[in-house]
Each structure stands twice: as C-alpha cells, then as structure tokens.
Amino acid sequence: MGKIAFVFPGQGAQAVGMGKDIYDALPQSRAVFEQGNKALGFDLSQLVFEGPDSELKQTVNTQPALLTTSVAYLAALSDRNIKPDFVAGHSLGEYSALVAAGVLSYEDAVRLVRLRGRFMEEAVPGGQGAMAAVLGAERGALAELCRSISEEGSIVELANVNCPGQIVVSGSQTGVAAVVERVKEAGGKRAIPLEVSGPFHSSMMKAAADRLSAELARVTFNAPAVPVVVNVTAQPVSNPEEIRELLVQQVYSPVLWQDSVEWLIAAGVDTFVEIGSGSVLAGLIRKIDKSVKVVGINSLESVQAEL
C-alpha cells in the first residue's frame, strides 16, 4: 500500500465563493468559518463568499481566507476516515498542514496568518519589491544570475522552487526587472511579473519575520501527529520548537516545493490529496512526477467522491 500526503495551497489559490458549498451543506465545515469570524473579530466568511475580489486579494485577508477554506475542507473529510502519512503546504499552506497535524489549533493559526499577512505587507513600502515567475530556467543557472544581479546592488533571490521549469524570484523592483530582462542568460524562456504586494520569501522580509517571531513565541506548538515536510528544508520535522523556528525562517527563505514533493515520493507517497481552493499544487505535482495520483478536495462533490 502506498502512502498518502495531504497538501495545502498557498497564496494565489484564492477565489471569491471558495468553500461556500461545504459551508451550506456541512455543519462541521460551517463551524470552522464561524470559529474564524470569532477569532478574528470580523466577518471573514462574508468576504470569502461575496468578495469583493480586490479585498480578498489583499495579503492580510488572503492568508486567513485560504487557511480557513482549507481547514473547512479538512473538517469535511473528518468522517471519511482518511488519514495522511505526511502533510505539507506551500508557503501559507504550511499553516494549514500544521493544523492538520495537530501542531497548531485552528484559532491560533488563523490569528497568526492574519498577522503574518499584515507584517509581510508592511515590511517593504509599496512599489519597492516585486516577484516574477521564471519559466524554463535551470535552478543553478538562475540562482547564479540572481547572485550576480544582487552583487550589482539590486536584491533578487529564488523564492519558490515549484517544479521543473517553474521558479519564482523575489526581491527589489530593479532586481526582479533585471531577471525579467536577462532571463535567457539562465536558459529561461520568459519571466512573468506577478501581482503581489511584496517581495515574499526574500531577505527583504526579515523585518516581517522578526515581528512574526514575537507572535509565534506566544502560541502553543504541539508535537505533530504525522510528520510535517517543511518548505525551508524539504525534510520532515517533528520537534515543535524546530517547527516554530522554521516558520520564522520561512518568511524570508525559498519555498522548496519541488524538493518537498520529491522527498515525499521517495518516502513512498503515491497519492497526494490537495485540500483547499483551486488546483495549483496538483498541476505542480504532476509536472514533478506524472506517475503519482493527485486528488483535489475543493468542492462538496469532491468531498463526497471516492478518493
């Protein structure tokens, strides 16, 4: 029998109306949204279900919205008796994975990601940071290009290693623009600037990480019920204190998603269950290894279907 990994999406997967079908149909999922409203002190569910999209896209709202939707879908699976062998999440999705593994309570996690979103937005003044998705470049060559541009005085770094041929870079406006312009030097086909509110997962986020560290110190971290494969190292971590420290580093370190998926497959995972809005991770996982099974739990219909 192959092993199962539950994986959780991050920013970019949001959509107005996500989770509304399970909210309407399933009391355990509705309870998650209601808990979120209470923990945050405002009607998060109304923003998720009705928008406007421009408000849902603000990092400070996107992060608690996606976490809540993922946890609500996870709750929808609670009576299905499907247990993961591992959990992992992409950037923000790591918090959903930690809730799934029992490391963080949902209430603590939703408050933390609301603050994380705020700190990330406030870390760099608007218009100074940027991100771009680079297609077709080789990782080593792209890292080298980023290093030489940074040495010229414009910070740019690898931010998300998503799958072969798709790497996101992050840093200063000028640094990212230089990568977009010089992408062919790294063997890349093209680079697409992303609509984001800051240079996430770059060293420019250190101030946000410091502020988040103080908040993480106030929260209880439990030992995980199942191993959590984390973004920073692409390795499983079971020590709660180490998880806490890695969440601080995660804010300014690259998300090693491809490496994490490859580690899971090597550990015997042949079924990935993506829990939450959209199907971004399913697409990435298929590009990493076509032979594994990927199931999306992102609608009432998918909750009720056989895995």
Give the pLDDT confidence score for residue 57 in this predicted structure: 93
Average pLDDT over residues 168-174: 97
250 to 94, 120, 254, 278: CA distances (angstroms)? 10, 12, 7, 23
Does residue 262 surpass a pLDDT of 80? yes
Phi, psi of 166 (to 5 degrees): -140, 105
Alpha-carbon span 18 to 161, nearest angstrom = 26
Q: Which of 201, 253, 260, 302 is catalytic?
A: 201
Does residue 3 surpass a pLDDT of 80? yes
CATH of domain 129-196: 3.30.70.250
Average pLDDT over residues 226-255: 98
pLDDT > 70 in the chain, percent: 100
What average pLDDT does the structure give for the chain? 96
Q: Which of 29, 70, 91, 253 is catalytic?
A: 91
Residue 41, judged by CB atoms within 10 A of its CB (0-12, 13-18, 19+), counts as exposed
State pLDDT tens for residues 71-95.
999 999 998 889 999 999 999 999 9
Does residue 126 surpass a pLDDT of 90? no
Residues with Cβ within 8 Å of 40's Cβ and at least 6 positions away in sequence, in order, are 64, 110, 111, 114
Alpha helices in the chain (DSSP H): 20-25, 27-40, 44-50, 53-56, 59-76, 93-100, 106-123, 139-151, 173-182, 206-216, 240-250, 257-266, 280-288, 300-304
More confident residue, 79 or 227: 227
Give the pLDDT confidence score for residue 112 in this predicted structure: 98
Does residue 211 surpass a pLDDT of 90? yes
- Is 91 a known active-site residue? yes
- Is 201 a known active-site residue? yes
Does residue 301 surpass a pLDDT of 80? yes
Average pLDDT over residues 288-304: 96
Give the pLDDT confidence score for residue 298 in this predicted structure: 97
Give the pLDDT confidence score for residue 196 in this predicted structure: 83
Give the pLDDT confidence score for residue 270 in this predicted structure: 97
Alpha-carbon span 135 to 166, nearest angstrom = 5
CATH number of the domain at 3-123+204-304, out of 3.40.366.10, 3.40.50.300, 3.10.129.10, 3.40.50.2300?
Answer: 3.40.366.10
Residues with Cβ within 8 Å of 242's Cβ and at least 6 positions away in sequence, in order, are none
Other CB atoms within a 10 A radius of the CB of residue 144 amount to 13
Does residue 239 surpass a pLDDT of 90? yes
Alpha-carbon span 194 to 186, nearest angstrom = 19
Residue 81 φ/ψ region, left for φ over 0, alpha for ψ in the -120 to 50 degree band, beta for the rest: left
Q: Where are the domains of the chain?
A: 3-123+204-304, 129-196
Give the pLDDT confidence score for residue 164 in this predicted structure: 96
- Omega before residue 52 within 30° of 0, cis: yes
